[in-house]
Structures are given as C-alpha cells and as structure tokens.
Amino acid sequence: MAFELQVGFRYLKTRRKNPFISVVTLISVLGVMIGVMSLVVVISVMNGFRSDLMDKILGMNPHLRVTGRFGAVLDSPSIRERCSRMDGVVATSPFVESQVMVDHGGRAAGATIKGVEPEASSRVIPLAEVVVDGALGSLEKKEGSPPRVIIGQELARMLGAAPGSRLTVVSPEGRLTPLGRMPNSREFIVSGLFDSGMYEYDSSVLFVALAEAQDFLGLGEKVSGLEVRVKDPTSAGLVGRRIGEELGSEFTVRDWMTSNKSLFSALRLEKLTMFVILTMIIFVGALNIISSLVMVVMEKTGDLTILRVMGATRKSVMSVFVVQGVLVGFAGTILGICTGLGLCHLLATWKFVSLPADVFYLSSLPVRVEALDVWGVAAAALLLSFLATLYPSWRASRLNPAEAIRYG
C-alpha cells in the first residue's frame, strides 16, 4: 500500500499540464470543507437548543412524579419514605396541584396552583434559582396576614400584578356545603415573581405553601403526589420503573422524558433531517472529486500504461486513485472541522448572533459541541469521498496497456 500511497500523493501535488484539473480539485476540497463546516455548526447549535431546553424543563419539573392512580395520596409520609430508600433517589417532596382562576383588578386568567414545601421542594427542583423578585421562603405564612403566592412574570403582566398585589384565587372544585359544592375563593398576596424562561410555565403557574394549598382545596392531609429527584436524569425512566414496582398498581410513576416525549422526538427528527439535507453539500464536493479524478485519469494515461507494463496490477492502479480522492476528501474534512469548531467557539464566546427575546426564550444562539456528532460528520464526509473515487478508479484499472500504446 506504500507504493499506491506514494504515487497517489505525487499525482495530487504534481503541477498539472491542464490547470483546470487543479481548479476542480480545489473546488472539491472547498465543497467538502463547506459541507462539513455547515454540519458541525448547525448540529452544534441544535444541540445547544436541546440542552438549554432540557435545563429549562428540569428547572420547573422533577425527574419523576409519583401520583395516585385513583386520586389524591393519603399516606404521603410512608410513600415518601419508601421512595427515598430506592437506589438512585436523591430527594423527594410532596406537592398539591389543581386548576384555578386568578383575578386581579378585574383581569382574570386560568392558572395552575401548586402547593410546595419550600425547603424540600428546592432539593428536588431548583425553584429558588428561577425566583427573580422575592424568595421562595416567603411562601411561609405570617400570622395576621393573607397567605403568600409566587407567580410567573408573564402571568403578572397579564394580570397587571406586582409584588405586594392582592390576588383572588378561585377553585372550581370548591368546597362541600349543605347546598352542594360551591366554588371556593381566597385572597393571596404576591410575595415574589419567577422567570423560568418558558412561557408555558411563566404564564400559568403560581406557587403557594403546601399546607395552604391543602386547606384551600379541602384536601386535609392528602397530597396530589410526590416529586422525586434522581442522581442521573437520563436514568429517570429506570428508577421510575423500580419505584412503580415497589409501590404497586395503585400509583402512577412518570419520568420527565416521557412527559416531554413528543418535544424531544421532534428535536431528534429535526436534527436528523438537517444532517441529511446538509450532507448534500458534501455530496456536491464528492461529485467534484469524481470530475477531477476522471480528468486525471485522462491526463495520466501514459503514466498508467508505463505502470501496467512495469507490473502494476489493476488493484494497485485502482488504489492509486482511491488514495488521491480520499486525500482530497480528508483535506476538506479536516479544514471543515477546524473552521466549524472555530465558528462554534466564536458563537459561544462573542454571541454576535442575537435572537428576539420576545419571540424566542433565548437572546443568543446556544452552542454545544458534542464529540460524537463531530466524529459522525467526519465519517460521513470521508465515506462520501471514498465512494466518489470508486468509478474513476475502476475505469483507470480497466485501462489496457496495449490499446493505450497503439492509440497513444
């Protein structure tokens, strides 16, 4: 193989009789380089979006959620203890959740009220990190004052509320009276605002103390379920199955990936689609490799005849042009990866591509380079470059020395 490599490299760097062949070779390198660079940058940006979206989701959702299959959970301390003993579980926290109507100064909106224990919930979900005005601990009720609530910034904007405002929260489930079930309402004071970065949560969720939510919804000691944090978020499904087996069929365990399955499936499909589309750019560069090799074969007919007369086999001749084409693809791939990683570094460092914050939940392009994706792009580029060499190499190997001498 040393002979084929030496000849192929010599053909690649030798000054051409026809300069057009060198131009086509350069275009082949540039085509592969641009395709690889585009793939590296686009996939890294998509990885950044996916990673940032996961952080946003896990900033408001637990890794696992354990709920009663037939309604509220009564013996939550016992269930919490059983879950805490499971391998891989880091922390647990009870919660209460229900749909309510919120009113402030005549402005009303539907929302989800969520009762939490501030200290325990912070060990499961980083709620304290998303509270931008006030503190999560402010939910603890003070004697002689209405209960406290923390609402999303978007919900506060819709209601025209701010810290210190008084909200009227109405529960459709209500309370049972001699006249039947009547809607229940209670006044809350806004003690803080949170900004999760996701409109879905910022416009429809409000947090209150667990005991206050239980009293407001008439649940007594019952809770809606437990939120669970595990060591490795990617193994949440496995831990959830073990918890489900431990608790039995009366409980439902749902992990965060299953809850957002459609979203992540769409992201994976989009990433695959972009990979296929942008690979077409590399394919264009590979077509240029075919063109340049065909012209080299035509130019080097005399050299190939001499090689065959001296004893070179058809396989050796074919290997010479395979090496030459692969070297072109390799050069384009290396240059494309270097420029792609360099551009990703500039995007991540200087953030010169801005996004409208009122449309997207980000103000700049997120970038996350993953080694596996870079290797995949490089492998795809080299494979296409190799496939592009097969036909012209095969044609060169079929050259008959006698005919070449006769018509040369």
Q: Which residue has the tokens 């354990």?
A: 66
Report the share of the chain in percent with pLDDT over 70.
88
* Residues 129-166 pLDDT 10s: 899 999 998 898 777 788 999 999 999 999 999 999 99
**Average predicted confidence (pLDDT) for the chain:** 87
Cα distances (Å, whole numbers) of residue 399 to 109, 310, 320, 375, 405? 80, 14, 14, 37, 11
Q: Enter the pTM of the model.
A: 0.81
The ranges assigned to domains in the chain are 2-57+263-407, 71-249
For residue 193, the cross-strand partners are 133, 151
pLDDT of 17: 60
* Residues 71-92 pLDDT 10s: 889 888 999 999 999 999 999 9
Q: Report residue 318 as tokens.
A: 């074919």
* Residues 359-371 pLDDT 10s: 666 767 899 999 9
> Is pLDDT above 70 for 318?
yes
